[in-house]
Amino acid sequence: MEKESRPSWEQPAQFVLACVSYAVGLGNVWRFPYLCQMHGGGGFLIPYLIMLVLEGVPLFYMELAVGQKMRLGSIGAWSAISPYLGGVGIASVVASIYLCLYYNVINAWSFWYLFHSFQEVLPWAECPLNSNHTGYLDECRKATATQYFFYRETLNITSAISDGGGVHVGQALCLLLAWMVVYLCIIRGIASTGKVVYFTATFPYLVLFVYLIRGLTLHGALNGLKYMFTPKLEQLANPTTWINAATQIFYSLGLGFGSLIAFASYNHHNNNFERQAIAVSLINSSTSIFACIVTFSIYGFKATLNYESCLERVKLLLLNTFSLAEDTINVDNITYWITELNKTHPNQFADLLPKLESCDLEAELDTAVEGTGLAFIVYTEAIKNMPLPQLWSVLYFFMLLLLGLGSMLGNVTAVTTPLRDLRFVTHYLSNETTNGLVCLFCLVLGLGFTTRSGNYWLTMFNDYGATFALLLIVLIEIISVCYIYGLEQFAKDIEDMIGHRPNWYWKIVWAIVSPLIIIMLFIFYIINYIMGGTPTYQAWDKDLGQSVTTPYPPYAQAFIILLLVSSIICIPLSALYTYCNRYTDKTDTLPK
């Protein structure tokens, strides 16, 4: 008989906020606006919301149900469903470990930028001077000051993944701090986590709201918003739009990592998770849309700024070449003057032509950026042009930090909960020690991402570490719940917990629709990977001052395959192991 019963959340609100904090992460801010832009602005909401209803909410519901029923972490929960499925839980833990390793490095970058915001002149606002002080550094002139700060000062990136480079001490220090903060938040398990999520789940909304007001009042913000809200409905005919919508919902909710199962396992038996599942999924999607509005105001501001600077440069070029008085040309009559000067001085104009830029607002708005490029380069570019940039910078990076930290809490809990389920761990090690060892392990391995080529490895982990494995894990989860465990039994368990059976809609979606969608995503992923040829990455070329598409060297490609396979292989291996155990048990008990 167990003396110590399972810990639980002090309030059901803590559970809901923990799920919100986990699901609402950096992807809502830097991936969704990109997809919106790529797939026709407002029109993208249609496939997004459809996929939310058909795929997002049902799978979320399912994971919470499994966790709350089994009251164990992912390994224990799936072993309880069927002894051969323990591997699914192990695969989830492996995927979570990969995520923990690199995700906190992004938090380290947020810390770095946050600390660097406490200066009179933001370090990414101006290029540093060259050695004889006659101008700016070459690399910085060719790129922009914000790109230079990110690639050179923050990462000190090498030109290829094979160039190792040493550890960037500043990054290593920030990573240490990031892991210490995570440890502080999970030190006593959900007793600590439950209190922290009150803050990590709510404060980002405050910042987003403030940014919304700031963003909407920026000059040129309306250009961005108009661009976003004019739907290009022809994009709906493109299958990639639907695939991307499904993928975004899938990853945005954090399914398959085991975090949701872990959080739900600490619930009381009768907690009404059905309403909570719907609430959290809706909150997550609304946050994405909200962040999209903020991002597009910022985009509009930045694009308008670039467009107007471009016009200024053209005007200056014309004034200087033809020595006209300063106030003859302004932004309104610039096109008139171009045609005038072409007529009156055709030869001189012809010489000028290669240097003459064509300024296009649409083209500026069309440049879509996602990921770290959006968060650390585009946003910082916009912030440095706002009045009182230090304040906005601090607010913004603090928000990024909280979003990332909230997701980290879920990821680490997904690893520590199955560990704490193991009898011998609980017997020999205290909670604080287990959590500390997990954090230390991830810190030490994560230092590899703070080397000069670390960003390339991080991108590799991000693209291949969990993406494929999760699709397979969730597919096996839903199929085993519906067909191995049995949909009827599952419905009965839910009735036991919340008092009523799930209605026909849930059953149809679980049994047929969601698995079909995931199989479709799965096939698409495999086709993309095979047809994509050699996998490539974006290497920063410091002579050109921009990123260059480079193929991965052979050992990196082998490592990619290792990443893809390593979490999935746990599933068949574990099933085989259980089978062998059972077989030897059976032969042992045969009458002699």
The binding site for other proteins (CB under 8 A) comprises 3-10, 111-112, 114-116, 118-119, 121, 129, 133-136, 170, 173-174, 176-177, 180-181, 183-184, 187-192, 194, 266, 316, 319-320, 323-327, 420, 430-432
- Whether residue 106 contacts residue 154, with contact meaning beta carbons closer than 8 Å, is answered with no
Which CB sits closer to other proteins, 8 or 156?
A: 8
Least CB distance from residue 193 to other proteins, whole Å?
A: 9
Task: State how far the Cα of 16 lies from the Cα of 266, in Å rounded to an integer.
Answer: 12
Q: H/E element holding 573?
A: helix 570-588
Which CB sits closer to other proteins, 118 or 336?
A: 118
For residue 457 the two structure tokens come to 């490895």
Task: State how far the Cα of 250 lies from the Cα of 276, in Å rounded to an integer.
Answer: 18
Which CB sits closer to other proteins, 243 or 498?
A: 498
Contacts of residue 106, Cβ cutoff 8 Å, sequence gap at least 6: 26, 372, 404, 458
Judge whether 430 is annotated as a binding position.
no
Q: Report the phi/psi class of residue 156: left, alpha or beta, with left for phi > 0 and alpha for psi in -120 to 50.
A: left
Task: Report H helices in 230-333.
Answer: 239-252, 259-265, 273-322
Least CB distance from residue 319 to other proteins, whole Å?
A: 6
Judge whether 284 is annotated as a binding position.
yes
Task: State how far the Cα of 446 lies from the Cα of 564, in Å rounded to an integer.
Answer: 19
Judge whether 411 is annotated as a binding position.
no
Task: State how far the Cα of 145 lies from the Cα of 122, in Å rounded to an integer.
Answer: 11
Judge whether 333 is annotated as a binding position.
no
C-alpha gyration radius of the chain = 27
Which CB sits closer to other proteins, 370 or 432?
A: 432
Least CB distance from residue 448 to other proteins, whole Å?
A: 21
Least CB distance from residue 325 to other proteins, whole Å?
A: 4
Least CB distance from residue 196 to other proteins, whole Å?
A: 11
Angle at which helices 57-70 and 273-322 cross, to 10°: 140
Which CB sits closer to other proteins, 62 or 497?
A: 497
Judge whether 403 is annotated as a binding position.
yes
Task: State how far the Cα of 448 lies from the Cα of 329, in Å rounded to an integer.
Answer: 55
Handedness of CA 190, 191, 196, 197 (dihedral sign): positive
Handedness of CA 258, 259, 262, 264 (dihedral sign): negative
For residue 469 the two structure tokens come to 């494995």
Which CB sits closer to other proteins, 320 or 581?
A: 320
Least CB distance from residue 336 to other proteins, whole Å?
A: 18
Judge whether 28 is annotated as a binding position.
yes
Judge whether 425 is annotated as a binding position.
no
Least CB distance from residue 123 to other proteins, whole Å?
A: 9
Which CB sits closer to other proteins, 293 or 400?
A: 400
- List, as residue ranges, the binding site: 23-24, 28, 252, 284, 403, 407
- List, as residue ranges, the binding site for Na(+): 23-24, 28, 252, 284, 403, 407
